Amino acid sequence: MKKKITFLLNSETRSIEVESGDILLDVLRDKLGIKTPKIGCDMGDCGSCTVMLDGKTVKSCLVLALEVEGQEVTTLEGLMKDGMTPLQQTFHDFNSFQCGFCTPGMVLSATELINKNPKPNRKEIQEALSGNLCRCTGYIPIIEAVEDLIGKGKGEGKEKG
Amino acid sequence: MTNYKYIGKSAARVDGIAKISGAARFVDDLDFGPNLLFAAIVESSVAHAIIEKIDASEAEKMVGVVKVVTGKDFPYRFGLYMHDRYILAQDRVRFVGEQVAAVIARDPKTAKKAAKLVDVKYKELSPILNIEEALKEKSVLIHPELKDYTHVPWFFPKANTNVAHLRKVRKGDTNKAFQEADFVFEDTYTVPRYAHCAIEVHGAIGLFDHSGRLTVWTASQSPHTQRHLFAEALAPLGLSHKDVRVITPYVGGGFGGKAGVSMEILGAALATAVKGNPVKILWSRAQEFYNTYQRQGLTAKIKLSCKKDGTITAIQNNLFWDAGAYVEYGANVVNAAGLSATGPYRIPNIEINSYCIYTNLPPGGPYRGFGYSEFLFGLESQINEAAKKIKMDPVEFRKKNAIRSGDKLSYGASMNQSGLAEAIEKAAEAIEWGKDEKSNDPQKAIGKGFSLFWKAPAMPPNASSTAFLKFNEDASLNILVSGMEIGQGYQTVMAQIAAEVLTVPPEKIRIENPDTDRNPYEWQTVASHVTWGCGNAVKRAAEDAREQIFDLIERALDKDRDSLFLKDEMVMSKKEPGFKLPLKNFVIAGIGKDDGTFRGGPIVGRGMFMPEFASALSDPETSQGGKPNVHYTVGASAIKIEIDKETGKIKIPKVVLAVDVGKALNPDLIKGQVTGGLLQGIATVLYEDMRFDEKGKLLNPNFADYKIPTAMDIPDEIVSILVEVPQPDGPFGARGVGEHTMIPAAPIIANAVEDALGIRIKSMPITAEKIVLELKKQGLFEQTKEEYIDNK
Amino acid sequence: MSILQDFDYFKPTTIEFAIDLISNNKNATILAGGTDLIVNLKEGTATPEIVVDIKSLKDLKKIEFKDNCLIIGALVTFTDLLESVVIKEKFPLVWEVSKTVASVGIRNRATMVGNICSAVPCLDSGPLLCVYEADVNVRSSKGKRKIPIKDWFLGNKKTALKHGELVTHISIPFPNQKTGGCYVRLGRYCGEDLAQVNVALLAFANNAYRIAFGAVAPTPLRANKIESFLNGKKINDHLIEQAKELIPDEISPITDIRATKEYRMHMAKVMFERGIKTAVERLNGDGLEYGESLV
């Protein structure tokens, strides 16, 4: 069963025809060319497909494309309308990534956290990011970047050249 | 000490912006247009069987199905070190999930639906699911044709058995040493199978065009090795190496799992079946678990003897590896571990047998640590037990027996220079070894554990790296290499090396991911060797460019060549302080002469490195005589844990890893390796574990039941200590460190658990549950409980 | 990965139409957060002909406290629960449970009603609703029905919901006296995990206790014997030791890939002990803050 959906994707109204069984993640990647949400597990466990739906992070592999009719989907592409965000810059300065595959999802989850709770403590940061798996970094550089951004870091934020 | 401008500095990653901005493209992100086909795999539902019949007629009838292929379409054996694998199963299947047929269709949904319609009839054979069964006298043979397989000269398969390779190491007289020793300790340790769990799954897209050119895009650590294996396996179709092109974009994590060739062979082979159409195959997370390489399981039977003064006199280490259904890569893990299973200790009498055993479980293969993590669990547990039994401090015991530069290794070659002693001192100091610590909470026990570690790159003696370096008009650089940026920061370090030689800052250097047509040869990005091997090649390429520059300046401007040097992207002369010629003025354009002619032209550097001193040939009975390992990277690690005695749960307040990196080319990147590697290692000890049912089916091919750590599962503090005793043949003295950071995780924790509770867990993982059940078994639980109540 | 099964998707804007759809189709399924359903659709373990997305039924999005009763609508997510002032103040145990459910990206979608409709043995909401003696409120073309939570869970993934019925909300009566609660859940590590054992406890000012376990039987269950043993008594170490001896009579854990029955049984006792102490401490105004893990 094909249906047309219309929704806001990174502040732009998009209309597209989808099948009832189409998953938001696949539609974004394969039909709309939005590649930053990644396929990691396809079962909602790894967080690499994270996107924001009406401002809240969701696992886009667990959302039917039909469900987002009339809603607003934001991906990393949308976050960067005016270039890299301060959070991304801090991630860069702290080497808060290695292979970079989990990075888009991690950035979105961290962004949601500081939008909601501008001064999280370490435990709150850990909890907020615990749905995004990273196999490379051991998470510490990610947590430290968030702490630095909100002014709770150890002052190790470095100028890199 | 030399003052470097770029080496030793934590330069920003050259791949940083691409990854943080999401610009980095991974294999599944590439677009191939509306002509792209998709393949779904028909997998074996049984662990061991003869394929009697494959009926694909129903699938072929489906609209959208382009082709169904089976093993008979590709009757070729292939493999990295031993040709024992098939593109699709031939007459038999050897593990649950093995690829039996492939359905190629216009869209993934049709391919998957059609794959379910392919009917395969099996005649089941009894599956061999453990090493005991495999080694039985009259065991069913998993590879009856083993004796006919081609393999590298340093493998010794045992025909008509399930032993695919046996690495023997003999030195001195262990029997005599055991008889004469004051103490002999003997025990068995087991390690289950583990999964790499890179967050990006494996994927490949193949295109065999009508001109006979095969291009394969893969998520891989090994583009050139893949090209070689694809060309070799598909040679009967008339392909030669020049016709095969492998393109590898950014890789979303490797950890060894994307080394060699596993599922990617399907991308290459299936493309030849649908000429002119790109065909894509992307593994699901479940397939990622059961049909790529797994870390092999190990049963280690260790016997160790020592004198009263703590001198180790002999070791017998029998390593039985559950290597799985195909061992084309995994047999070399077995080999490497066998050669180094003494650990970093000077032991005069050695007997090691490392058995590569076929089982009907998924193929084993390379995993960060390449066998060393596995044997070190038993070895360093046993070392600790020995020290405690003879009432010697475990760190003192290790210091006394630690290998030193120049000592003879088990196979006769000499140990390289190393800062092992310094690493031991520093790790012990950082963890406050010897300071007795007690928790304020009577329910909690604190323990400390210590371990040494080592690892050598396991590679063929002629594994080599090459680099091309091209100057651009503005004196920026493009470097062409075929190592893979798998997250470790390889590209950044290569840029730093070239920057140091040519004085061009790293941010003016771009390194793209490989395309085997354009980028020169690299063996593979494995074995913690690319910083060393490819680093040498890049350094030589930069030096080659620099020499060309000096040649040109001498020739065109008549300057004294020996006085020339590079600084701040300019050529200068010691003799003429006023002479400053910016590189950008001539590296493409050349140097203009008064008559309007030019000298020189684009500067292109070339560098190559192969360790010409290595040899894998040695006496098969003793391993004496060769130099199979180029060098060892060594270190020491220590941990402090806090165990909840009631729940068995372990918390890690602090973990320390001190490693001799030779020279830290980029300290932040190494710290990244330590943090990430330790956590990966710790997870294998505390909760990761592959479980199979009684028919050989993997029970937890998902993150719901194969748990990898989250941001909530980190130690409170990770201390990385970088020791720098230079590697003479390394670039600026560097050696590799990528794998080493996870190797000691198991023994430090096992030893800390013993320290805290007095129980020795001899099987991994050391789960909370295992600790509690062991305490109960030993009657310690009730005792602890009573003490607790008394204390109150 | 798209879903192989074909189905029709409906997003009704009235509850009546939603009920029509599910009553008139033998093979219909309700979609709210989808965090379980989409997985089941992908795995082929759910094969509905129609999927009824109820997210347009705004009335079901309510968290309401009136007539001394908490209403949790079918569209209320765990994030909604965590962000609700009334939950945090009046039902801190609901807050504590919600905090342990999966991770943010799931909690932003997953609903408590969905959780009890999936009815897996390890569900987080099960023991919680048992100790609150909540009711599940359903509607069908025949009218409304209130199902006490004790009658709701019929087995592994089986509930008392009948064909044509839609769960509209859960109602939780506010205890008519002061309580202290505690939820303890056992995972294999600190990150998101399916509970191997979970226990919810509610201690009342009059020395009454309600205790419910999960993941140790096909359904969540009230520990009736322990409750009657403890009721009316002030908790002390000796009493707890005696109560722990009753746990084997209450639960029947199994060995599976996540834990052995021995460890589950052992941990049920440990968790009960820690949980009851904390619940009582909280009742008395001290003890660990809600949300702190006890294991």
pLDDT given at position A89: 97
Kindly tell me the burial class for residue C68, based on how many C-beta atoms sit within 10 Å of its own C-beta (0-12, 13-18, 19 or more): exposed
pLDDT given at position B784: 56
CB atoms under 10 Å from CB of A81, counted, come to: 10
Task: Give pLDDT tens digits for B184-194.
Answer: 999 999 999 99
Return the residue matching tokens 């399916």: C194
pLDDT given at position B31: 97
* Nearest CA-CA partner of B692 in B44, B41, B47: B47
- pLDDT bucket at B612, cuts 50 / 70 / 90: very high
pLDDT given at position B780: 81
> How far apart (Å, rounded) are the C-alpha atoms in residues B204 and B288?
13
Q: Side-chain half-sphere of C166: how many Cα atoms within 13 Å?
A: 31
Chain B: residues touching C (Cβ < 8 Å): 108-109, 112-113, 284, 644, 646-647, 649, 683, 686-687, 691, 699-700, 704-705, 707, 709-713, 767-769, 772-773, 776, 789, 792
Query: C8-53 has which fold?
Result: 3.30.43
Question: E-strand spans in B475-621?
Answer: 477-480, 509-511, 564-567, 570-573, 580-582, 591-592, 598-599, 604-609
Which site among B36, B106, B199, B666 would you substitute to test the A interface, given the most A Cβ atoms closer than 10 Å to its Cβ?
B199
Measure CB to CB from residue A109 to each of C102, C104, C190 and give the nearest one: C104
What single string gives the DSSP state of each residue in B624-645?
TT-B--S--EEEEEEEEEEEET
Known catalytic residues of B are 739
Note whether C53 contacts A56, CB cutoff 8 Å: no
Question: E-strand spans in B44-86?
Answer: 49-55, 65-70, 77-78, 85-86
Residue of B nearest to C294 (CA): B647
pLDDT given at position B779: 87
Nearest C-alpha of chain C: how many angstroms from A49? 10
The first and second tokens of residue B769, run together, are 């549950």
pLDDT given at position A159: 45
DSSP symbol at B363 = P
- The identity of residue B96, as a single letter, is V
Nearest C-alpha of chain B: how many angstroms from C119? 17
> How far apart (Å, rounded) are the C-alpha atoms in residues C241 and C232?
17
> How far apart (Å, rounded) are the C-alpha atoms in residues A19 and A1?
6
Note whether A44 contacts C51, CB cutoff 8 Å: no
CB C175 within 8 A of CB C133: no
Q: Does B153 sit behind a cis peptide bond, omega within 30 degrees of 0 on the bond before it?
A: no
A56 at C interface, C-beta within 8 A: yes
- pLDDT bucket at B2, cuts 50 / 70 / 90: confident
Return the residue matching tokens 């924001």: A52
pLDDT given at position A161: 37
> How far apart (Å, rounded) are the C-alpha atoms in residues B436 and C138?
61
Note whether B22 contacts A102, CB cutoff 8 Å: no
Which site among A60, A62, A112, A132 would you substitute to test the C interface, given the most C Cβ atoms closer than 10 Å to its Cβ?
A62
Question: What region does B600 belong to: left with phi over 0, alpha with psi -120 to 50, or beta?
Answer: left
H-run or E-run covering B753: helix B745-757
Domain boundary assignment for chain B: 36-125+202-282, 297-406+435-459+617-786, 464-609
CB B735 within 8 A of CB B457: no
> How far apart (Å, rounded) are the C-alpha atoms in residues B216 and B264?
8
> How far apart (Å, rounded) are the C-alpha atoms in residues B98 and B84?
14
Note whether A3 contacts C9, CB cutoff 8 Å: yes
CB B266 within 8 A of CB B205: no
CB atoms under 10 Å from CB of B683, counted, come to: 23
C186: chain B residues, CB-CB within 8 Å: 647
A17 at C interface, C-beta within 8 A: no
> How far apart (Å, rounded) are the C-alpha atoms in residues C86 and C97?
15
Q: What are the beta bridge partners of residue B77?
A: B86
Domain boundary assignment for chain C: 8-53, 59-173, 179-283
> How far apart (Å, rounded) are the C-alpha atoms in residues B308 and B500?
52
Q: Which CATH class is domain B36-125+202-282?
A: alpha beta
Note whether B691 contacts C257, CB cutoff 8 Å: yes
Sign of the C-alpha dihedral, residues C99, C103, C106, C109? positive
pLDDT given at position A160: 44
pLDDT at B785 over 90: no
DSSP symbol at B441 = S
* Mean pLDDT taken over chain C: 97
C42: chain A residues, CB-CB within 8 Å: 23, 42-43
> How far apart (Å, rounded) are the C-alpha atoms in residues B402 and B146?
40
Q: How far is CA A6 from the centre of its chain?
A: 21
Task: Give pLDDT tens digits for B45-66.
Answer: 999 999 999 999 999 999 999 9
Neighbours of chain A (3+ CB pairs under 8 A): B, C
Note whether B712 contacts A126, CB cutoff 8 Å: yes
CB B145 within 8 A of CB B326: no
Nearest C-alpha of chain B: how many angstroms from C177? 32
Mean pLDDT of B166-178: 98
> How far apart (Å, rounded) are the C-alpha atoms in residues B607 and C43?
51
The radius of gyration computed from the CA coordinates of chain B, to the nearest angstrom, equals 28
CB B481 within 8 A of CB B514: yes
Task: Give pLDDT tens digits for B567-578.
Answer: 999 999 999 999
Q: Which CATH class is domain B297-406+435-459+617-786?
A: alpha beta
- The identity of residue B370, as a single letter, is F
Nearest C-alpha of chain A: how many angstroms from B666? 12
- The identity of residue B276, as a single letter, is G
A86: chain B residues, CB-CB within 8 Å: none
CB B238 within 8 A of CB B252: no
Mean pLDDT of B495-517: 98
* Nearest CA-CA partner of B489 in B14, B2, B5, B109: B14
H-run or E-run covering B245: strand B244-247
Note whether A44 contacts C39, CB cutoff 8 Å: yes
The first and second tokens of residue C110, run together, are 């997953």
Residue of C nearest to A39 (CA): C1
The first and second tokens of residue B59, run together, are 């699938």
Note whether C34 contacts A62, CB cutoff 8 Å: yes
C259 at B interface, C-beta within 8 A: yes
Neighbours of chain C (3+ CB pairs under 8 A): A, B
CATH architecture of C59-173: 2-Layer Sandwich (3.30)
Note whether C262 contacts B773, CB cutoff 8 Å: yes
pLDDT given at position B419: 98
The first and second tokens of residue B115, run together, are 């794959």
Sign of the C-alpha dihedral, residues B531, B534, B540, B546? negative
pLDDT given at position A157: 47
Task: Give pLDDT tens digits for C67-89.
Answer: 999 999 999 999 999 999 999 99
Mean pLDDT of B418-438: 97
B683: chain C residues, CB-CB within 8 Å: 189
C290: chain A residues, CB-CB within 8 Å: none
Note whether C6 contacts A1, CB cutoff 8 Å: yes
Residue of C nearest to A58 (CA): C105
> How far apart (Å, rounded) are the C-alpha atoms in residues B646 and A127?
25
CB atoms under 10 Å from CB of B64, counted, come to: 14
CB B279 within 8 A of CB B266: no
Task: Give pLDDT tens digits for B659-683.
Answer: 999 999 999 999 999 999 999 999 9
- The identity of residue B561, as a single letter, is R
Q: How far is CA B626 from the centre of its chain?
A: 23
Nearest C-alpha of chain C: how many angstroms from A128? 6
Mean pLDDT of B584-612: 98
CB C230 within 8 A of CB C242: no
pLDDT at B366 over 80: yes
* Nearest CA-CA partner of A56 in C33, C79, B712: C79
Query: C179-283 has which fold?
Result: Enolase-like; domain 1 (3.30.390)
Task: Give pLDDT tens digits for B249-299.
Answer: 999 999 999 999 999 999 999 999 999 999 999 999 999 999 999 999 999
- The identity of residue B516, as a single letter, is T
**How many angstroms separate the Cα of B700 from the Cα of each of B276, B703, B707, C28?**
38, 8, 9, 30
Nearest C-alpha of chain A: how many angstroms from B459? 24
DSSP helix/strand/coil, B412: coil
Question: What region does B758 belong to: left with phi over 0, alpha with psi -120 to 50, or beta?
Answer: left
Note whether C188 contacts B687, CB cutoff 8 Å: yes
Note whether A1 contacts C102, CB cutoff 8 Å: no
Q: Side-chain half-sphere of B112: how many Cα atoms within 13 Å?
A: 15
Alpha carbon dihedral B754, B759, B760, B761, in 10-degree steps, equals -110
Residues in CB range of C169: below 8 A, 6 or more apart: C60, C62, C71, C72, C73, C74, C113, C137
Query: B464-609 has which fold?
Result: Aldehyde Oxidoreductase; domain 4 (3.30.365)
Tell me if B36-125+202-282 shares its fold with B464-609. no
Residues of chain C with pLDDT below 70 are none
Nearest C-alpha of chain A: how many angstroms from B757? 28
Task: Give pLDDT tens digits for B57-102.
Answer: 999 999 999 999 999 999 999 999 999 999 999 999 999 999 999 9
The first and second tokens of residue C293, run together, are 């893990």
> How far apart (Å, rounded) are the C-alpha atoms in residues C289 and C277?
13
Which site among B6, B10, B15, B21 would you substitute to test the A interface, given the most A Cβ atoms closer than 10 Å to its Cβ?
B21
At B376, give phi and psi (nearest 5°): -70, -25
Note whether B712 contacts C191, CB cutoff 8 Å: yes
C267: chain B residues, CB-CB within 8 Å: 647
Nearest C-alpha of chain B: how many angstroms from C4? 6
| % chain A with pLDDT above 90 | 93
DSSP symbol at A66 = G
Mean pLDDT of B482-496: 98
Task: Give pLDDT tens digits for A126-157.
Answer: 999 999 999 999 999 999 999 999 998 865 54
* Mean pLDDT taken over chain B: 97
> How far apart (Å, rounded) are the C-alpha atoms in residues B159 and B45?
28
- Domains observed in chain A: 2-76 (3.10.20.30), 86-149 (1.10.150.120)
Helical axes B330-340 vs B372-389, angle rounded to 10°: 30
Measure CB to CB from residue B709 to each of C191, C266, C267 and give the nearest one: C191
CB-based burial, B92-110: b 16+ in 10 Å, e otherwise = bbbbbbbbbbbbbbbebbb
Return the residue matching tokens 């025990």: B187
> How far apart (Å, rounded) are the C-alpha atoms in residues C131 and C121?
16
